[in-house]
Homo-oligomer: A and B are copies of this chain.
Amino acid sequence: MPMTQNIYDDETFFAGYSALPRSIHGLDAAPEFPSLCALLPAMKGLRVADLGCGFGWFCRWARGAGAGSVLGIDVSERMLARARAETKDVAVRYAKTDLETAELPPGAFDLVYSSLALHYVVNLERLVETVYAALAPGGRFVFSVEHPVFTAPSVPGWREIDGRKMWPVDSYLDEGPRTTDWLAKGVIKRHRTIGTYVNTLLRAGFTLAHLEEWAPTAAQMVAHPEWDGERERPSFLLVGCGR
């Protein structure tokens, strides 16, 4: 059985992750969140699941936006411990579950959300089928993953080439594990093409509603000139689809 590496419970990784702006300041520090937010339905009364909920920022946001109930799922005990400590709301529940083997009750949710978690999952097809079955008719699945241009390279990183900041790509069509040293040594992510993400959704029965290769807006670029690389190559893929 495939197993997702639980790097978030690695002490070094967790310390590094906890120091990221989005871990300290939450959704306000996630520059792609407004774009992801635009793909969400009206939240009032919805039954929501968040796959890879981390510290629970989105779970609490969803309740604040009117969701009726929220289930946050994560494999990391350290993250769930902080999520539980920071959540005072009985309509938000957390469960420790590996996304590789997660079971969800059929038709129990109106929205399934996932931020930057699915690129860790080995068996994406199984998870997408589980999400489809867990949604009520008319339900939505909205998620972000690291963009394949970002995950593809055998040795990822910026290079200056003829005076231009460039992102050299190789191995794009060779899907599978990619090991990088991000916050800790030996973090394993799964590279797959946009085609694979899209066709896996369509095969499961989803209808695609929106696909976005995120880039900072002009206003964001003014506020954060250090994000200039984000216009050179995409780092996030945002997807909205419906059952």
Please give the residue numbers on chain A whose beta carbons come within 8 Å of chain B beta carbons, in ascending order. 149, 153-155, 159, 161-162, 164-174, 193-195, 198-199, 202, 207-213, 215, 230-234
Contact = CB atoms under 8 A, between A and B. Distances in A.
Given A194-B194, A202-B208, A213 B167 contact: no
A194 B172 contact: no
Contact of A172 (B149, B155, B159, B195): B149
A49 to B, nearest CB: 24
Given A169-B232, A173-B230, 6 more contacts: A153-B166, A171-B232, A172-B213, A173-B215, A194-B211, A202-B210
Protomer copies = 2
Contacts of A153: 166
Q: Please name the 4 residue pairs, one residue from A and one from B, whose CB atoms are nearest each other, closest first.
A: A173-B215, A166-B168, A170-B232, A198-B211
A173 B213 contact: yes
Contacts of A212: 195, 199
Contacts of A167: 168-170
Given A166-B153, A167-B168, A168-B167, A173 B210 contact: no
Contacts of A199: 210-212
A174 to B, nearest CB: 6
Contacts of A213: 172-173, 193-195
A28 to B, nearest CB: 22
A155 B164 contact: yes
Most buried by B among A169, A174, A212, A230: A169
Given A194-B213, A208-B208, A170 B164 contact: yes
A162 B174 CA distance: 19
Contact of A159 (B161, B171, B202): B161
Contacts of A215: 173
Contacts of A233: 169-170, 172-173
Contact of A149 (B149, B155, B174): B149
A142 to B, nearest CB: 15
B207 A207 contact: yes
B164 A232 contact: no
